[in-house]
Amino acid sequence: MPTRTTSITTADHLLAASGELGPCELVRGELIMMVPAGFAHGRIESRIHSAIDKFASSKDLGVVTPGDTGFLLERFPDTVRSPDVAFVCKQRIPSVPPQGYFPGPPDLAVEIRSPDDRPNAVAEKIADYLRLGVQVVWDVNPETRSITVHRAGSEPAVFARDDTVTEPVLLPGFTLAVEEVFAW
Domains of the chain by residue range: 37-182
User: What pLDDT is stored for residue 105 in this prediction?
Assistant: 97
Can you say whether residue 126 is alpha, beta or left, with left for phi > 0 and alpha for psi between -120 and 50 degrees? alpha
Over the stretch 126-169, which tens digit does the pLDDT of each residue have? 999 999 999 999 999 999 999 999 998 899 999 999 999 999 99
Can you list the alpha helix ranges (DSSP code H) found in 3-137?
A: 11-21, 39-59, 119-131
> Between 3.40.190.10, 3.30.110.30, 3.30.230.70, 3.90.1570.10, what CATH number should domain 37-182 receive?
3.90.1570.10
- 40-94: pLDDT as tens digits: 999 999 999 999 999 999 999 999 999 889 999 999 999 999 999 999 999 999 9
H or E element that contains 80: strand 79-81
Q: What is the pLDDT of residue 23?
A: 81
pTM: 0.91
CA-wise closest residue to 146 among 101, 116, 176: 176
Distance (Å, whole) CA 115 – CA 51:
24
Q: What is the mean pLDDT of residues 93-105?
A: 92
Q: What is the pLDDT at residue 16?
A: 85
CA neighbours closer than 13 Å in the CB half-sphere of residue 130: 17
